[in-house]
Structures are given as structure tokens and as C-alpha cells.
Amino acid sequence: MKNSIAIGLVLGIITLSSPAFCQGRGNGRGGGNATGRGGAAEAQEEGIPVTDTLTVSKCSSCHRKDEKDNLTRISWIRTTPEGWEEAIKRMVRLNGLTLEPADAKAIVKYLSASHGLAPEEAKPVMYMAEHRIQDETIPNDSIRATCMNCHALGRPFQWRRTRAEWSLLADLHSALYQQADAAFRRNGAGPNGGGEGGGGGDAAAAANAANISLDITLDFLGKNYGLRTPEWAAWRARMRSPKIAGRWLISAHIPGHGKYHGELIISPGAADDEFTTSLKLQPVGGGAAISRIGTGLVYAGYSWRGRSKGTSAPANPVPNDLSAEMREALWISPDQTWAQGRWFWGEYQEFGVDVTLKRATPEPTLLTIDRYSVKTGSQGQQLRLIGSNLPAQVAVGDLDFGSGITVKSIASHTSTEIVAQLDVASTAVPGKRDVSFRNSVLEGALAVYDKVDYIKVLPEASLARLGGDSKSPHPKGYQQLEVMAYHRGEDGKLRTGDDIELGPIDVSWSIEEFYSVFGDDDKEFVGTLDGHGLFTPNLDGPNPQRKFSRNNYGNVWVVATAKNEKDKDGKPLVGKSYLVVTIPTYIRWDQPEVTK
């Protein structure tokens, strides 16, 4: 297809406009009243008119326009830029749509703004755009059974639809995916209809089956992820063009590398929602600065998608090279004064930078500090505060760390750094402290603790992928791990919600077998772990050294042993993370175009 947009499957899920997929099939699942093709079910709720002439001209041949400027299906759906790009890709792949790249870009821009998400709706699912590992909260057993067998919850939760449209989406899944249809039918009938627990079987199983049905899932989605919400109504009135050009201050954390700080210069681009960037980032602990240049686009007034790369990338970069090209996903605050998100890179986006941006002002501003925590009863603790426009005169009284921490002296200061000497009382209350300099505050930036109670390897469960050699089309998928220390918190119990994160500590890394079968030997073949927590997977195989010449896949424990922190018995603290090393990703489910 000449000059057509790229084709592929990515993060979102969208129903199709062809007649075969536009009709509710009356299958007893609550979707039978969705008569399709803009039928009665859609008419029960006001749609969102499509007013962009380009979108109407390219879409209305399949999506019929009514007297209120609604386009069937489209007017009853809202989603993210990634979701709308997925919709267009599906139309190209399955329905024969042809679009020039410039037209596709313009349509995604328009739909992301007029049929997108409010900032408050998008923020809870930003981890999908950020490619961040997330432990999702599952709202009920029915959602688990009908949605999570195939994909993360973040995928449907990026969408807003009417109840009828959610039902039609289920019809699409049944039509396209045999395993989805099987799950819907297996779990959809309840205890008296042949579903799980039916036929007069065990009472507990029958009761569980009664709580699992597609109707329950669709009712939940229609109620909690419906088309019209107060947040969207407010944002439609409040939305404005992004006025973000200028100087921004940035603080960042890079797993395996530590804290960084710097500044980002955002300059206007070709359109009022497009920009170019220039970044200088410095490690808080010292070392060479990182310089990067890039481009970005802001969808719906708050949702940044961009790309950047180092100005002096090496010819043969290492896997976690900080000068590599990165993709950027940021959530900009509605008042456009701060932003947060993740920059990521790697074949499977396994490396990333957690960033927070503040718009620079003439006022003194704190960015970060060089410590994560201080211990009760410690004296003469040196702490560096890094910021911007710090004054020529700094007094002890300008700094405040809360009760129990006394600023004894200012060792040195410049316009970007203050070095203070602190005493921490033995009676200081453990917990997160705000760090303030005059009117600038870093919320919860410094933890106070009396002892390290346990350590945790993060992520606690992760995935790495085998790959071929340098000539292989399927590169390896690495995994960067790090260790965080924790205090038990106010309740005195370990691993509960009030535990206090104390920051990274020095550890020794190793790999242990995760025994799943007799004679398991995965740790000998899956890959290697370096002294900074970077796991490098092996070649994919087959490996003649393994029994049956199997590939080098397997499950292992990544183990961190503290060098200085001990438990009550005097033994070093130990943390473990479960790591699955599996086959390469042969199909890429991604949406790189929204960053261009």
C-alpha cells in the first residue's frame, strides 16, 4: 500500500466498523440490544459529535454520519493517543483503509483531543504508555476471568465506552479470538447454565461461578468506564493549547544508576502542539553529564509523547546506554507547571528513567537531595541539596527538615547547591520528611529510620527474553534490577502499606534456582547477572549442553545480599526477585508512531 501508515497491533483494543462486527448478536450476555450500525442502543446515550472535516471524510464511508454529526461507533468511544492509533491500524489491516501518514497523524491528534481522556482519567493508566511494570489491582473475579487471561487491565481501562459499546467489543473478541469466546462462554452462564460450577456440583464452586460472567464484567465497565464522566466534561471546557516552551528543571531516578538532575529546554516546533527539546542531565553522585536532543508532541493539552537521543552516542552502545534513543511519555499537570512520567528504551523497553519536571521560575527552587534517608541518633550528617536560583546568602534557618532534625551549619553553597550539616535526634519520629528551603518544598524527600528491617529486590517479579546473536532479528530483552531498603513503619509489621522506603543499599548479587521440576538446572543456562543488578539473558538456543537440547529458558531467583545491614540474628539481610527468562517476542505489540 503506497505511503500508507504502518500496520500492526499495539496497546489499545477497538471494535471494528464492518457489518460483521457492528451487530450485537443477541447471545444472552446483555449485548443483544446493541443492534449495531448506530442502532437503538447507541441512541440511548448522546454521542460526541465528530466535527473535523478530515476525520469525517476518511471515516464516514464506513461510520455513518447522523443529523447530530455523530459517526457510528466513533462518537460513543473515548481513548488515549495509543488507542486511537490502534483503531486506525485495525481499519488499515482489516477494513482496507488507506491513509497518508500526515492524515493519520492529524486524525490521531483530533480524536485524542475531542474523543480522548481527561488528565484525571489518563493518570491511573499512564503506566501503559510508560511501559512500566505494574502490579495491577483487580476489581473483581469476573474481570480477572474475562479480561486478564490475555492482557493487562490497563488495556481496557484506557477506554471509555457506553455499555452497548462494551458489549460490542466483547462480540468482536468472540469473532476474532477463539480463546476469548471460550472464556466468555465458560464463565458466562453461571451455576445453572453449564458454566464453571454448574450442574449441581460443589456449592463453593457454584457460588464462585455465579460471581463470574461477562454480564458482570460489562456492567462494571459500563458503570466505571462509561462514555461521559464529570472529569471529561470539566476538561472539555478547560482544555487549552500547551504553552510549555521555556526552561524546565528535571529530577530523575534511573534504576541501576541512581539520582540525576538537570534542565530541559523546550522550544516551539512546527505546530502549536509540537516541540523540540534539549536536555542536560547530571548524576547527583558525580560523573559525566548526559546531553540529549529530541522532539515531542502534546495530545489533548497534557499528554506528552516524544523521542530523544544522546548528542554523542557511541558506535557500539552497551544495552543500558544512557545516550541511546529513548521514547518519552509524560503527564503534564493541567496548569502546565509540572510534569512526570517515564523515558524508556531497549528492544522491550526494559530500561527507563523516572522523571519529574518543574517549570523554572526566578524563585529559588529545590530539585533533589543526594541522600534517601538518615538514621536516628546520627550526628554530623552531610546532605547536599540541589536546586536552581539559590541565593547568595543562605542561613541555617532557611532550611527545615521537620522535628528531630537540626541544621547545625551550612558547609558551602552556590546558586545550584547547598551542603548542610545535620544532627538527627535519637527520638526523631521515623517516616518521610519534607525538605524545605524558604518557600520551595520537596515533599517526602528524606526518610528517617532507626534500623533497616528488610530489603526488597525490584521489580519483585520480572521478565527477560532470550535472543539471537548480532545478526538475529530478535534481540535480547534484558532486565535491570535494584534493591531498596525498608523500615517497618508505624504498625511495626513488615511488608505492610505503611512501610517506609529508605533507598538503595550496597548488596552482592547472585542467581539461585527456582525449583519447579526435579533436577532443575535453569540457573546454569538462562544468563548472567552483573554487580549492578543488570541481567543479561543467554542466546536462545537450542543448547546441546542441556537435556534434550532445550533452549535456554527458565525460572530463577535473583538474590541480593546486603553487605552492611543485618537481621536480628546477625545475618545479612536478603531479598529475592522472581525472574522468568523466556523466548523472544516474535510479534511486537507497540505504538511507536505516536511519539513522532
461 and 312 assigned to the same domain: no
Band (pLDDT 50/70/90 cuts) for residue 233 is very high
Highest mean pLDDT among 95-99, 104-108, 133-137, 202-206: 104-108
**pLDDT (mean) for 390-402:** 96
Measured in whole angstroms, the distance separating CA 98 from the mean position of its chain's CA atoms is 31
Domain C-terminal end among 237, 266, 292 = 237
Contacts of 292 (CB under 8 A, 6+ apart): 277, 278, 279, 281, 308, 309, 310, 311, 323, 326
141 and 47 assigned to the same domain: yes
**Does the pLDDT value for residue 33 go beyond 70?**
no
End-to-end CA distance of the chain: 21
- 14 in any annotated domain: no
CATH of the domain at 337: 2.40.128.120
132 and 225 assigned to the same domain: yes
What is the per-residue pLDDT for 53? Answer: 97
CATH of the domain at 386: 2.60.40.10
Highest mean pLDDT among 137-151, 448-462, 579-593: 448-462
What is the per-residue pLDDT for 31? Answer: 33
**Does the pLDDT value for residue 210 go beyond 90?**
no
Q: Within a 13 Å sphere around the CA of 161, how many CA atoms are in the beta-carbon half?
A: 25
| Nearest residue to 314 via CA among 323, 303, 302, 306 | 323
Residue keyed to cell 453449564: 194
492 and 519 assigned to the same domain: yes
Residue 430 DSSP code: P
Q: Within a 13 Å sphere around the CA of 589, how many CA atoms are in the beta-carbon half?
A: 13
C-alpha–C-alpha distance, residues 585 and 583, integer Å: 7
Give how far Cα 16 sits from Cα of 42, 68, 104, 223, Å: 15, 22, 17, 22
What is the per-residue pLDDT for 439? Answer: 94
What is the per-residue pLDDT for 190? Answer: 42
Reduce the DSSP state of residue 485 to 3 states and report it. strand
**Does the pLDDT value for residue 196 go beyond 70?**
no
- In DSSP terms, 575 is beta-bridged to 560
Domain count, the chain: 4
- 1 in any annotated domain: no
398 and 472 assigned to the same domain: no
460 and 442 assigned to the same domain: no
C-alpha–C-alpha distance, residues 24 and 44, integer Å: 15
341 and 403 assigned to the same domain: no
438 and 334 assigned to the same domain: no
**pLDDT (mean) for 505-526:** 94
What is the per-residue pLDDT for 312? Answer: 81
Give how far Cα 550 sits from Cα of 123, 363, 546, 583, Å: 43, 62, 6, 12
445 and 465 assigned to the same domain: no
- Phi, psi for 474 (deg, rounded to 5): -120, 90
C-alpha–C-alpha distance, residues 81 and 112, integer Å: 5
Reduce the DSSP state of residue 338 to 3 states and report it. strand
pTM of the model: 0.87
- 593 in any annotated domain: no
C-alpha–C-alpha distance, residues 440 and 365, integer Å: 5
Question: Across the chain, what does the average pLDDT equal?
Answer: 88
- 224 in any annotated domain: yes
- 590 in any annotated domain: no
- 189 in any annotated domain: yes
**Does the pLDDT value for residue 427 go beyond 90?**
yes
| Preceding amide of 542 cis, omega within 30 | yes
Domain C-terminal end among 385, 417, 449 = 449
What is the per-residue pLDDT for 588? Answer: 72
169 and 212 assigned to the same domain: yes
Count CB-CB contacts under 10 A for residue 26.
11
Domain C-terminal end among 409, 434, 449 = 449
276 and 143 assigned to the same domain: no
**Does the pLDDT value for residue 88 go beyond 50?**
yes
- 294 in any annotated domain: yes
Cα torsion angle, 581, 582, 583, 589, sign? negative
pLDDT digits (tens, 9 = 90+) for 133-182: 888 999 999 999 999 988 899 999 999 999 999 999 999 999 988 888 88
374 and 442 assigned to the same domain: yes
**pLDDT (mean) for 396-402:** 97
- 592 in any annotated domain: no
**Helices and strands per DSSP (H, E), number in the chain:** 14, 28
User: Can you give the residue range of the structural domain that contains 527?
Assistant: 454-582
* Residue type, position 278, single letter: S
pLDDT digits (tens, 9 = 90+) for 287-332: 999 999 999 999 999 999 999 999 887 777 788 899 999 999 999 9
How much of the chain is helix, strand and coil, in % rounded to 5? Answer: 25, 30, 45
Give how far Cα 459 sits from Cα of 203, 420, 542, 576, Å: 39, 33, 28, 10
